[in-house]
Amino acid sequence: MPYALKLNLRHLPLQFGIALAFILMMGWVRLVPPPFGAPDLNATRFALLWVMLATTAIWAAMGAPGFATLCREPLRAFSTLALLLLSIWAYASQAWAFTRESDPNVTTSAGLIWCVVAIFILVVTAAGQRRLLITLMIAAGSLVAIVTLVQVARQSTLGLGFLGEFQRSLTANGGSILQAGDWRFLRPSGFSPHPNMLGGLLTVCTLLATARAAQVHVRVRIIYLGLLALIFLALLVTFSRSAWLALAVAGLSLLLMMRVPWHRWLPVLLTGALVAAVFLASYWPLIAARAGVGEESIELRSVADRIVFTDLALRAIAEQPLIGQGAGAFPWRSAVYISETFYDLLGDQVHQVFMAVWAELGFVGLALFATGLLSGIMAGLRRLGQDRHDRAALLAAVIAFAVIGLFDHYPYSQLPFIALWWGCVATAARP
C-alpha cells in the first residue's frame, strides 16, 4: 500500500482499527467486567486490547497485506521478530514466575499484554499509515490537552470516568499535589492514572506537533502552531520532570534529524518560548518546589522510594539474572523484600524501564527488548531520507520514551504506553 492518505476502500476497516487503537492509547478506557466472558484480568479490562485483537483479526482475514514486503526488509523484520520472541518469553515466564503459586494471574495478564502488543505491532509494521496516525495522535493529544488545562483551572477532575479519567482531589494527600507556602496545586492527570504518564503522552504529541508546524505551508502552520502551544502548555503544567527532560533531549534529536531551514524553525521556537515564559511567570513558586529549591519540596520521599526500589531490583536481578522473576512479578517480589526491612512501603515497580525488564524477564528478555528497539530505530534512520519530517518526529518520540524510561516504568509496565512506544517504532520504520 503506498504511503499517503489515499486509502483503498477495501483496506478501510483495517486502517480504522489501527487508527482507533492509536486513539485509545491516548487514554485509559476500561471495560468492567471484561467483554465476551473473558477472564477478569488487568489486561482484559482495557478497551485497547480488544481493539488491537479485532484489528489483527481483520488484517489476517484480508490476507496479511504488507507482510511479504516486511519479510524482505531485514531490519524491520528483525525488530518485529525480536518483539514477537519477547512476547513469547514473557508469556512463558508463567512457568517460573515468583507469583506462579500466590497469584498466577499477574504473569498471565502481563504475558497476554505483550503477546497482543507484539501481534498488533506486526500489523502496524506491515500496514500502518504514518501520516494518518500522526494527524490522529495530534488531534487526540489536543483533546487531552484541553481536558488537562480544564482540570488545572478547576483543580479537580471533570467526572469523565467513562473515558478513563481518574478521580483526584486537593483534599487527598499524595504525590500528585505540589505545595509552595499556602499554595496547594493538584497536578492534572488527564485520562491517565498519574501526571507523569500524562506528561509522557503529551511529550510525544508535542514532538509530533512541532514537526508538523515546522514543515507545513504558512496557512496550515498557524493551526499547528496553535495546537503546539496548547499541547506544550498542558505538558508543562503536569510538572513531570522526566517528561520535560525527555522533550529537551528528543527535541534536540528532532532538530538534527529534520534538517529544516532556520526560518521554518523560528515560529516554532518563538511559540515555545512564549508558552514557557507564561508558565514560568505563573507557576514559579511551584517550579521551585518541584526542583527542590528552599524548604518547599515534598519530593524527598519520591526520591528515596526510587533509590529503595532500584536496590531491590538489583537484588531481584542477582537472584535470577538469566530468566528473571516473571513478567509483572517484580512488585510482588519487592513486597517480600520490603517485609524483611523497616521501610514503610508497599511493593511497586522499579522506576527504570531497562532494569525492570531485566528484573522480570532476565537477561534473555532484556536482550530481546533492546534488539527489537535498536533494530527498529536503525530501520527508521536508514529510511530517513524518505518522508524525513514525519519519520523524524516518530523517531524523536521513540527517543523520548527511552529517556523517560530512565526515570519511570510505565513505558514498559502499562499497556497503552507499551503499545504507543512500539507503535512509534513500527510506524517510523514503515516504507
Phi, psi values for residue 177, rounded to 5°: -120, 125
How many other CB atoms are there within 10 angstroms of residue 72's CB atom?
8
In the chain, % of residues over pLDDT 90: 77
Long-range own/partner contacts, residues 294-299 (CB < 8 A, 24 or more apart): 296/179, 296/180, 296/181, 298/177, 298/178, 298/179
Give the HSE-up count for residue 199: Cα atoms under 13 Å, Cβ half-sphere: 25
pLDDT at site 3: 38
Is the preceding peptide bond at 261 cis, omega within 30 degrees of 0? no
pLDDT at residue 330 in the model: 95
Model confidence pLDDT, tens digit, residues 318-375: 999 999 999 999 999 999 999 988 887 888 999 999 999 999 999 999 999 999 999 9
Q: How confident is the model at residue 201 (pLDDT cuts 50, 70, 90)?
A: very high
- Provide φ and ψ at 184, rounded to 5°: -105, 130
- The reported pLDDT for the residue numbered 262 is 85
Q: Which three cell numbers stand for residue 165?
A: 479519567
For residue 1, what pLDDT is reported? Answer: 35
Average pLDDT of the chain?
91
Residue 8 has pLDDT above 90, yes or no: no
Is pLDDT above 60 for 298? Answer: no
DSSP string, 221-232: HHHHHHHHHHHH
Whether residue 2 has pLDDT greater than 60: no
> For 167-179, how does the pLDDT look when each residue is reduced to its tens digit (9 = 90+)?
887 766 556 888 8
Class of residue 318 by CB neighbours under 10 A (exposed 0-12, middle 13-18, buried 19+): exposed
Instruction: Identify which has the larger pLDDT, 302 or 204.
Output: 204
Distance CA 140, CA 132 (A): 12
Which cell numbers hold the place of 285? 513558586
List strand residue ranges (DSSP E) for 69-200, in order. Answer: 177-180, 183-186
Cβ atoms of 209 and 224 within 8 Å: the answer is: yes
Residues 145-154: what's their mean pLDDT? 96
- pLDDT tens across 378-413, in order? 999 999 988 889 999 999 999 999 999 999 999 999
User: Rounded CA gap, 285 and 302, in Å?
Assistant: 19
Q: Are 423 and 121 in contact (CB under 8 A)?
A: yes
pLDDT in tens, 32-88: 999 999 999 999 999 999 999 999 999 999 999 999 999 999 999 999 999 999 999
Residue 6 has pLDDT above 70, yes or no: no
Instruction: Identify each DSSP E strand in 273-377 by its residue range.
Output: none
Among candidates 219, 210, 220, which has minimal Cα distance to 266? 210
pLDDT at 345: 83
Contact 188, 237 (CB under 8 A): yes
Mapping DSSP to helix (H, G, I), strand (E, B) and coil, where does residue 339 land?
A: helix
